[in-house]
């Protein structure tokens, strides 16, 4: 059995949050002003809700390893939530007392069930059903290594660094693990977009059902449509995203001359030779907003279209 150790992350365009999330120790004098991710002492008869320091004290009594006894003692006697969390993160990094194995593409990542259960209703229920497991092993079918590393780091340290390069991987992992708090953080990050990322935000917000990010990106696109489609990132968009944008009847402020030009650029840049895809996009162009001379000009300039009889016939029908 192999354990994976975390590695430093490169901060490209950091959106960093630090969240005070874990206080799994019992407190001699309860502080009602502090809130935790989940109340782990509500049902004391459930194995998942056992106080973590009780579990560690049992381990401490049975352990003959001096380092194990020391780290347990330091955790139980920690005077602050920050100190306790650092010790818990140290246990994770050193793979001590781990009872959860998350598998991604054959690689195993060790963690603690009680930590994941504090954030995930799905796994809280799952662990109740598997309460007799010595170590629970679960395969993550859609999660990437990078996504899981970032999510685990957040669960143990309360810190999450997001960029537009990694946000989809983080969201995919959070969805599979059912961690709603990460969705909230990612949506806040996506809502801070600049125009270079408007299509990316719109695509992610639509897929993951993020209403705030979708509204903001859609509003920006509606007001700046012609400038947005003239960006280089437009040529890198997948077909489905372009089709959705062109089908959006709420976007009124668009220059069809620019739209047609950029669609032809996209077809050429991506070497699209599928007539169905091209036809599908062309049907979403508002041909009545183009005059006869403009349509003839584009038809003559595009060799790919001129050689396609079906598309040529379709365009001529629009010109009449």
Report how far residue 28's alpha carbon sits from residue 301's, in angstroms, rounded to the nearest whole number.
79
Output the average pLDDT for the chain: 76
pLDDT tens across 233-264, in order?
999 999 999 999 999 999 988 999 899 889 98
**Rounded to an integer, what distance in angstroms lies between the CA atom of residue 49 and that of residue 24?**
10
Q: CA-to-CA distance for 302 and 314, rounded, in angstroms?
A: 14
pLDDT at 11: 34
112/243 Cα distance (integer angstroms):
44
Tell me where in the chain the CATH 3.30.710.10 domain(s) lie: 15-27+36-177
pLDDT value at residue 205:
95
Q: Give the single-character DSSP code of 9.
A: -
Q: Which of 50-64, 125-139, 168-182 has the highest mean pLDDT?
A: 168-182
What confidence tier does 300 reach under pLDDT thresholds 50, 70, 90?
low
Looking at residue 132, what is its pLDDT?
A: 77
Per the model's pLDDT, the better-predicted residue between 226 and 128 turns out to be 226
CATH class of the 15-27+36-177 domain in this structure:
alpha beta
Beta strand 100-104 with 136-139: parallel, antiparallel or unpaired?
parallel
**What pLDDT is attached to residue 134?**
84
27 confidence band (pLDDT: 50, 70, 90): very low
Res 96 pLDDT > 50: yes
**Percent with pLDDT over 90 in the chain:** 40
Sequential DSSP letters for 169-210:
HHHHHHHHHT-HHHHHHHHHHHTT--GGGHHHHHHHHHHHT-
pLDDT for position 25 = 39
Q: How many CA atoms lie within 13 A of 232 on its CB side?
A: 0
**Mean pLDDT of the region 33-61:** 40
Considering all CA atoms of the chain, what is the largest pairwise distance in Å, rounded to the nearest integer?
A: 89
Structural tokens at position 136: 């629970």
189-218 pLDDT, tens digit each: 999 888 899 999 999 999 999 999 999 999
Cα 198 to chain center, whole Å?
16
pLDDT (0 to 100) of residue 220: 94
Other C-beta atoms within 10 Å of 77: how many?
A: 12
| 253 three-state secondary structure | coil
pLDDT band at 92 (very low <50, low <70, confident <90, very high): confident
Extended beta strands in 4-50, E state = 15-18
The model's pTM: 0.70
pLDDT at 36: 33
User: Is the predicted pLDDT of residue 150 greater than 90, yes or no?
Assistant: yes
Range name among 57-61, 112-116, 277-281 with the lowest pLDDT average? 57-61
Q: Taking a C-beta distance cutoff of 8 angstroms, is the pair 299, 315 a contact?
A: yes
Sign of CA dihedral 155, 156, 158, 162: negative
Q: Using the predicted structure, report yes or no on whether residue 320 has a pLDDT greater than 80.
A: no
């Amino acid at each position: 059995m192999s354990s994976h150790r975390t590695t430093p992350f490169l901060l490209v365009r950091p959106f960093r949050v630090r969240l005070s999330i874990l206080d799994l120790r019992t407190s001699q004098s309860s502080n009602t002003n502090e809130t935790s991710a989940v109340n782990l002492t509500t049902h004391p008869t459930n194995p998942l809700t056992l106080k973590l320091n009780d579990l560690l004290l049992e381990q401490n009594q049975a352990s003959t390893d001096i380092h194990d006894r020391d780290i347990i003692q330091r955790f139980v006697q920690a005077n602050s939530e920050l100190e306790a969390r650092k010790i818990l993160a140290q246990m994770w990094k050193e793979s001590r007392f781990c009872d959860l194995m998350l598998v991604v593409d054959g690689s195993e990542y060790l963690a603690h069930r009680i930590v994941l259960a504090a954030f995930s209703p799905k796994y809280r229920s799952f662990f109740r059903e598997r309460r007799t497991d010595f170590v629970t092993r679960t395969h993550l079918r859609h999660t990437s290594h990078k996504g899981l590393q970032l999510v685990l780091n957040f669960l143990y340290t309360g810190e999450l660094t997001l960029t537009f390069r990694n946000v989809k991987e983080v969201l995919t992992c959070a969805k599979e693990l059912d961690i709603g708090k990460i969705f909230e953080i990612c949506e806040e990050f996506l809502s801070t977009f600049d125009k270079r990322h408007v299509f990316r935000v719109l695509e992610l917000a639509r897929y993951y059902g993020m209403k705030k990010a979708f509204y903001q990106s859609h509003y920006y696109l509606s007001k700046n449509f012609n400038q947005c489609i003239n960006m280089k990132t437009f040529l890198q968009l997948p077909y489905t995203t372009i089709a959705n944008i062109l089908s959006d009847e709420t976007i009124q402020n668009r220059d069809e001359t620019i739209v047609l030009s950029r669609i032809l650029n996209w077809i050429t840049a991506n070497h699209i030779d599928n007539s169905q895809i091209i036809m599908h996009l062309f049907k979403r162009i508002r041909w009545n907003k183009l005059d006869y001379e403009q349509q003839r000009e584009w038809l003559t300039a595009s060799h790919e279209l001129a050689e396609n009889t079906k598309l040529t016939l379709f365009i001529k029908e629009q010109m009449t």
